[in-house]
Amino acid sequence: MKKSNLSVLPVILWLCLFLVVPMLIVVGISFMGRDDLGNVVLDFNLESYSRFFDPLYLGIYWDTIVLSVLTTGLCLLLSYPLAYYIANAGPKMQTWGLVLITIPFWINFLIRTYAWVLLLRTQGVVNNVLLDFGLIQEPLQMLYTKGAVLLGMVYTFIPFMVLPLYVALDQMDKKLLEAASDLGASRWKSFWHITLPQTKSGIMTGSVLVYVSTTGMFVVTDILGGSKSSMISNIIQSQFLGARNWPFGSALSVIFVITSLIMIALFNRALTSKHMKTKEGR
């Protein structure tokens, strides 16, 4: 017992040093004031939090949640079939599939995002092709819309969903599907009653990764969303770096961390609802 306590000590120290302490600093700053130069001063107040209830910020807050949920949902819908296909392919195809999924990581993320600008802008590849084929008469406004941001987010985070799903699908005992089939289940029913509940951990991991990453992403919004669509992370970034209002930036961060935790809890509840009942005590 004592030995096992000691062996987790480094982990606890690590967590304290790099997670708990910084979080506490952020929480602390969110209750402080600032002087005219933007320095944080010890002056306990709730001003930063009350400022959040400005309709401007509430709107952005809501947009961020909607966009993150949409991104997570779309990533899940697009990734599951892909991960399923890779996990059930032959060993050679599996390796290739996984390499293809990870290849985008080898290229600088900014370059990849700017590539979308080239594709989506008014004189971009997509518009040109559509015009050439006479499918549209005038170029579509695709860049600098919420759709473009959503597209960019889904594109960026799809590997974060595919990989955990792949792992879950690959680890699943294939004999379970044979057993289901033997007991009279069609392929669809086997999928619904066996595969889906058995890959719940992958769904959960992927969704949390994508959701949390989306809420924290401001580069995609900046590049593909232009000035019109902002996310909470853009505001936080500008509060820290531009406006030098650390207390307000911290307050927004705290609010968003809490929101993310609530969302994760809700999602977890949805996954453990009656259809996907899981082991108790696990």
Partner 1 sequence: MIELVQVEKRFAGQVVVHPLSLTIKEGEFLTLLGPSGCGKTTILRMIAGFEQPTDGKILLDGTDLTDLPPNRRDLNLVFQHYALFPHMTVEDNIAFGLKMKKMPVKEQQERIQEAVTMTQLNSLTKRYPHQLSGGQQQRVAIARAIANKPKVLLLDEPLGALDLQLRKNLQSELKQLQRSLGITFVYVTHDQEEAMMLSDRIVIMNSGQVEQIGTPRQIYANPTTLFSATFVGENNIFSRDGKMFAIRPEKLRALRDVEGAKRTGEVLDVHYLGSVHKLVVQLDNEPMTVSILFDFNDNRPWEVGERVGVDWKSEDEVIIGS
Among 6, 11, 182, 273, binds partner 1 (CB under 8 A): 182
Q: Does 95 help bind partner 1 (rule: CB under 8 A)?
A: no
- Closer residue to partner 1 (CB): 121 or 193: 193
Question: Cα dihedral sign for 131, 136, 141, 143?
Answer: negative
Any residues with CB less than 8 A from the CB of 151 and at least 6 apart, and which? 116, 120, 224
Is the dihedral angle over the CA atoms 193, 195, 201, 206 positive or is it negative? negative
Q: What is the DSSP letter of 137?
A: S
Q: Which is nearer to partner 1, 43 or 173 (CB)?
A: 173
**In the set 169, 180, 252, 263, which binds partner 1 (CB under 8 A)?**
180
Tell me: does residue 275 bind partner 1 (CB under 8 A).
Answer: no
Q: How many residues bind partner 1 (CB under 8 A)?
A: 23
Query: Residue 193, interface with partner 1 (CB under 8 A)?
Result: yes
Smallest gap from residue 194 Cβ to partner 1 (A)? 6
CB neighbours (10 Å) of residue 281? Answer: 3
Alpha-carbon distances, residue 251 vs 97, 143, 245, 270 (angstroms): 42, 31, 10, 29
Q: Counting Cβ atoms within 10 Å, is residue 183 exposed (0-12), middle (13-18) or buried (19+)?
A: exposed
Of 10 and 281, CB closest to partner 1: 281
Which span (100-108, 150-158, 232-240, 273-281) binds partner 1, by CB under 8 A?
273-281
Q: Rule CB under 8 A: which residues touch partner 1? A: 173, 175-176, 178-186, 189, 193-194, 197-198, 200, 276-280
